[in-house]
Structure 1
Amino acid sequence: MGTSIVGYDDVDVFIGVDVGKGEHYAVAVDRAGKRLFDKALPNDEAKLRDLIGGLKSRGRVLFVVDQPATIGALPLAVAQAEGVLIGYIPGLAMRRIADLHAGEAKTDARDAAIIAEAARSLPHALRSLELADEQVAELSMLCGFDDDLAQQITATSNRVRGLLTQIHPALERVIGPRLDHPAVMDLLQRYPSPASLTAAGEKRIGDRLAKLAPRIGRRIAAEITQALTEQTVVVVGTNAATLVLPRLAKQLAGLREQRAEIAVEVERLVEAHPLHPVLTSMPGVGVRTAARLLTEVSGKHFATAGHLASYAGLAPVTRRSGSSIRGEHASRRGNKILKRALFLSAFAALRDPVSRAYYDRKITQGKQHNQALIALARRRCDVLHAMLRDGTLYQAPIPIAA
């Protein structure tokens, strides 16, 4: 799945690094397999430069890590500054290669030795790597923070809905599905209990909602008032929920505000990137999808569209054994972030006539909805790979006359 390292035949020293938060473990071997370095070193620029600089005297150096991002960012940046070749070994390849070596221990020293040996003897298992530019690095950090915010929003929303369901199910059926609206968050902060909503009355609730939801505020107020009449008993724990709900509502509103601010910055970075017009010219690719494509694909080389699809986990896996087991199944591996982005992009592209026709054809062939979407996403990988390779905008295929 990875592409060969450019100039691999001229490499004299292979450095395998198992990266860590506090310290890394490095093993260096020459082309004959003789160990030149085998020890832990701190996650420090000076120590990394000493390691690479000392081995550069022996010839051309290839520096390989098992994680190119997060904790592996500094070692790769130092290696690039030292002017040596850089690459990384994917986690799946790493696990399979580890099975070929004796022993079952999982240690940093063993992992570093396996990485170095794989770099020396199995170059096809490596991926060539170019460090992402500053824009992509910022995008990666912001998208990661956006993911964290999205998870917190989901957890907080579920907590609010759980409390409402516990104390007043009818009220939850009205408010729960609308927790993403600022007007509802504001209402919960002002009137956090069924008793306070009842005391406020429909008109006051409507006035409050109409400030942030002028079109639907009155209708929501009427639905809330109707829901309040469906329960007369007070459930145990309502008083405590009254204390918790406004705080959760305020927290949820703050999280959504933070995510909106991050979205503005992500949009700015995506629009400033040279590949922005290329990516967004494809149906179903908006700013968020373009950001994900940049963070997950930028700096990696894929020889063919099949390599890209395999990396994303969209390539079907063939299973055959004699005449009893035959078929193809969806892969459960690959880059899950990229796979999700391409899957959702394919779903959004169903408004495009060409994509819709392909999806409908797969449904006619007996595929389920998700299967047809995965097939569409796989087909779009071919187009996306060509667009990225040539730097060309999306061009809809010309239908062939009957």
Structure 2
Amino acid sequence: MTPDDIDVWVGLDVGKSAHHAHALDRDGDTLYDKPVRQDEKAIRSMLGKLSKHGRVLLVVDQPNTIGSLPLTVARDMGIAVAYLPGTAMRRTAQLLPGDAKTDRRDAHVIAWAALKLPETLRDAGSDDETLAALRMLAGHDEDLAHESTRHINRLRSLLLQTHPAFERVLKGERATRDATLALLERYGGPAGMKRAGIEDVKDWARSNGLRAGRIIDDMFKAIGEQTVTVPGTLMAETIIPSIARDIKAIKDRRREVGRQVEKLLGDHPLLTVPASMPGIGVRTASNIPLGIGGDIANFKSAAHLAAYAGIAPAAGQSGTSIKGERPSRRGNKRLRNALWQTAFVASTKHPPSIAYYKRKREQGKHHNAAVICLARRRCDVIYSMPKNGALYQEPALVA
């Protein structure tokens, strides 16, 4: 549907209990300017009245969560829907008189942008059930990841306060390995392990099927480096086991989410295809279609997709004194992060990608710039695979 097909532009500033709707006709005259309850009957009634004036376009400022019901009702009524991103909305508001921040003005800004600046609108997302389920799982997994980070930081803080040498042993992912968490849950920390002795700790680990010989040796070496007991150590080692249990539980829940996502991957072609590419795991494969909006046809070319993701360089030029390119600061955050992460993983695991990354570093590019270059190259492949319905085939990457 093109702007010429629309007769009524409805801006909806969504809220938890009520929305504010503002409708404009082709001449920019107001047809409707009232609050609407977050209720199917009220939304359907409002859209039904406006449909009497012609074809309606409903534009929201949040396509998910509290904006889901209005979009679903509109789609059920055969009404076109769109989404106005926050950045575009703020910039549009600067073009209009006044600087008040009210629901009524925001709804007017959305409707005015839809009428006068249709190029600022974005697809409101697919009503595909698989993508909707995937979006919820991705949000839940992000919450779990944040919760896990908070627990890990607390664990490290307690160990750093009571036994810094022991905390240094658990660098990187060592602190969250199943064996490490099991030992901390069992013994509480360095003091508890010291009381038990290295042989008893190793015997317990073997009897429970833990492959922890090396880390136990490193732990006891660190324990031997500190002879004093920092005040609060005993209390810390009563707290650490519960934190370790919480981290284990969160890891188990994230594994279950991963299994659910993997099951969804097999039910949707746009999810299956990216996952065949080196460097793209289950979670990343889910974020790519969510960032794209569920349909690769929304993008005219790979360059369009790269620009939307914010990994295409932004040119800077003014007369003869300023000329060059810089990384874009815009783009879809979810998609940009997913493409960057896959490129980073590929630059360490995938031989052709490693060679490409090294060439970019040899050309004088910094690490992040080299990874972005690789992400941009891989974006061409990610675009073409679902477009052609083909799985990944090993290309020859050249600079």
The alignment's TM-score, normalised by the length of structure 1, stands at: 0.92
Kindly state the Cα deviation for residue 213 of structure 1 after the two structures are TM-superposed: 5.5
Aligned pair 1:32/2:27, yes or no? yes
Q: Specify the code of the residue in structure 2 equivalent to 1:125.
A: T
Structure 1 SS opposite 2:299: coil
Structure-2 residue corresponding to 1:321? 318
Question: Is residue 166–residue 222 contact of structure 2 (8 Å, CA) maintained in 1?
Answer: yes
Structure-2 residue corresponding to 1:384? 382
C-alpha distance 174-209 of structure 1, shift in aligned 2 (>3 A) = farther
Give, in whole Å, the separation in 1 of the partners of 2:185 and 2:393: 50
C-alpha distance 235-398 of structure 1, shift in aligned 2 (>3 A) = closer
Give, in whole Å, the separation in 1 of the partners of 2:99 and 2:90: 11
Q: How many equivalent pairs are there?
A: 394
Give, in whole Å, the separation in 2 of the partners of 1:195 and 1:277: 49
Structure-1 residue corresponding to 2:196? 200
Structure-2 residue corresponding to 1:183? 179
Q: Specify the code of the residue in structure 2 equivalent to 1:393.
A: L
Give, in whole Å, the separation in 1 of the partners of 2:255 and 2:125: 31
Q: Specify the code of the residue in structure 1 equivalent to 2:335.
A: L
Q: Specify the code of the residue in structure 2 equivalent to 1:249.
A: A
Structure 2 SS opposite 1:58: coil
C-alpha distance 365-227 of structure 1, shift in aligned 2 (>3 A) = closer
Question: Is residue 125–residue 294 contact of structure 2 (8 Å, CA) maintained in 1?
Answer: yes
Question: Is residue 79–residue 86 contact of structure 1 (8 Å, CA) maintained in 2?
Answer: yes
Structure-2 residue corresponding to 1:160? 155
Q: Specify the code of the residue in structure 1 equivalent to 2:309.
A: A
C-alpha distance 187-70 of structure 1, shift in aligned 2 (>3 A) = same
Aligned pair 1:336/2:333, yes or no? yes
CA shift digits 1:203-225 (9 cap, x unpaired): 1111222345544x222222222
Aligned pair 1:278/2:273, yes or no? yes
Structure 1 SS opposite 2:4: helix
Structure-1 residue corresponding to 2:371? 373
Question: Is residue 206–residue 220 contact of structure 1 (8 Å, CA) maintained in 2?
Answer: no
Kindly state the Cα deviation for residue 130 of structure 1 after the two structures are TM-superposed: 4.6
Give, in whole Å, the separation in 2 of the partners of 1:145 and 1:227: 37
**Deviates further, 201-210 or 135-144:** 201-210
Given candidates 372, 394, 398, the residue that maps to 2:392 is 394
C-alpha distance 179-105 of structure 1, shift in aligned 2 (>3 A) = same
**Deviates further, 45-54 or 353-362:** 353-362
Kindly state the Cα deviation for residue 82 of structure 1 after the two structures are TM-superposed: 0.8
Q: Specify the code of the residue in structure 2 equivalent to 1:18.
A: D
Structure 2 SS opposite 1:21: coil
Give, in whole Å, the separation in 2 of the partners of 1:68 and 1:114: 16
Question: Is residue 359–residue 373 contact of structure 1 (8 Å, CA) maintained in 2?
Answer: yes
Unmatched runs of 5 consecutive residues or more in structure 1: 1-5
**Deviates further, 350-359 or 261-270:** 350-359
Give, in whole Å, the separation in 1 of the partners of 2:139 and 2:234: 37
The alignment's TM-score, normalised by the length of structure 2, stands at: 0.93
Kindly state the Cα deviation for residue 253 of structure 1 after the two structures are TM-superposed: 1.3
C-alpha distance 130-242 of structure 1, shift in aligned 2 (>3 A) = closer
Structure-1 residue corresponding to 2:129? 134
Alpha carbon RMSD of aligned pairs, Å?
2.0
Structure with bigger RCO (C-alpha 8 Å, 6+ apart)? 1
Q: Specify the code of the residue in structure 2 equivalent to 1:209.
A: A
Q: Specify the code of the residue in structure 2 equivalent to 1:317.
A: A
Question: Is residue 314–residue 331 contact of structure 1 (8 Å, CA) maintained in 2?
Answer: yes
Taking the TM superposition and a 5 Å limit, the aligned residue runs for 1:110-259 are 110-175=105-170, 177=172, 178-211=174-207, 214-215=210-211, 217-259=212-254
Kindly state the Cα deviation for residue 316 of structure 1 after the two structures are TM-superposed: 1.5
Question: Is residue 273–residue 386 contact of structure 2 (8 Å, CA) maintained in 1?
Answer: yes
Give, in whole Å, the separation in 1 of the partners of 2:397 and 2:331: 33
Kindly state the Cα deviation for residue 381 of structure 1 after the two structures are TM-superposed: 1.8
C-alpha distance 80-219 of structure 1, shift in aligned 2 (>3 A) = same
Kindly state the Cα deviation for residue 176 of structure 1 after the two structures are TM-superposed: 5.0
Give, in whole Å, the separation in 1 of the partners of 2:208 and 2:305: 45
Give, in whole Å, the separation in 2 of the partners of 1:176 and 1:369: 22
Aligned pair 1:41/2:39, yes or no? no
Q: Specify the code of the residue in structure 2 equivalent to 1:308.
A: L
Give, in whole Å, the separation in 2 of the partners of 1:399 and 1:125: 35
Given candidates 29, 47, 55, the residue that maps to 1:52 is 47
